[in-house]
Chains A and B, each alone.
Chain A
Amino acid sequence: MNAEFIVFVIFAAAALFGAVTLLSARNPVYSAMGLLLTMMSMAVFYVLMDAHFIAVVQVLIYAGAVMTLFLFVIMLIGVDKKEEREEKIPFQRPIVAILGGGLTALLLLAGRGAWVIVEGERVAEVGTIEAISEALFETWMLPFQATILLLTVAAVGAVVLARYESRPGGDA
């Protein structure tokens, strides 16, 4: 029972609780809060695995920017409408339970022999900003430049989508 184990158990429980909240909450804001808890727990796991830069990015980008965007949109399109819970497809929940249980069992069975197992002493590779940027700007330079294009296209696409309705004569 070392400290790492205790921290892992606490935050694994928090991550699972957040995921259950995401699935079960009727109000979308509570769902977003559950996802936020799961993302924060992920950041703790990244710190445990010496991925410090990724942990910071997780908190800044995911828990900060992405979840704020989600909350903005939830507020924009109304939180007062409760979701209907009647099932339009017969036996939807049992089917999902069977599919989910089956997929979990399959993943665990398939992964049992294939989990990463390293014999002997492993070389500790700490994900500091220096180490990450060295790899990013040397071996991963081309993918990094491709993300510039991707982000530009995404930003332009969002602006075009947002302005779509105000176009004169546009009735689609």
Chain B
Amino acid sequence: MTVDASWYMILAAVLFVMGGAGLLLRRNALVMFMCIELMLNSVNLTFVAAGDALGNLDGQLSVLFVMVVAAAEVVVGLAIIVMVFRKRSTANVDELSGMKG
């Protein structure tokens, strides 16, 4: 059996949904952030798979830019989580309900 792009697409869809489910289920802000990274990674997989099937390099270039943006996002997001932890001594999103109406 040959592995074509649709296999990677199906795997990426499953990984994306698992990341989204983790985002809804977990309470730890760090683990939720890691779930976002999983979703970004699964989308990167679809870019490379589509680019490979079409014989086009632009998919890989898009992945490069997604990685750069994700790295910037991680830096700022983790700084925010650390700052919230220093103020409130918790990373549990259920306890960070200061803006709840």
Residues of chain A touching chain B, judged by Cβ–Cβ distance below 8 Å, are 1-2, 4-5, 8, 12, 15-16, 19-20, 22-23, 28, 31-32, 35, 38-39, 42, 45-46, 48-51, 53-54, 57-58, 61-62, 65-66, 69-70, 73-74, 76-77, 83-84, 88, 92-93, 96-97, 99-100, 103-104, 107-108, 111, 115-118, 122-125, 127, 131-132, 135-136, 140, 143, 147, 150-151, 153-155, 157-158, 161-162, 164-165
Contact = CB atoms under 8 A, between A and B. Distances in A.
Contacts, number: 221
Contacts of B78: 69-70, 73, 158
B98 to A, nearest CB: 12
Interface of B: 1-11, 13-22, 24-28, 30-31, 33-35, 37-38, 41, 44-45, 48-58, 60-61, 63-65, 67-76, 78-83, 85-87, 91-92, 94
B6 A22 contact: no
Interface of B is mostly: helix
B2 A5 contact: yes
B14 A125 contact: no
Given A48-B3, A73-B82, A53 B28 contact: no
Nearest to B50: A116
Contacts of B1: 1-2, 5
B64 A116 contact: no
B54 A116 contact: yes
Contacts of A131: 57
Given A45-B8, A150-B72, A4 B22 contact: no
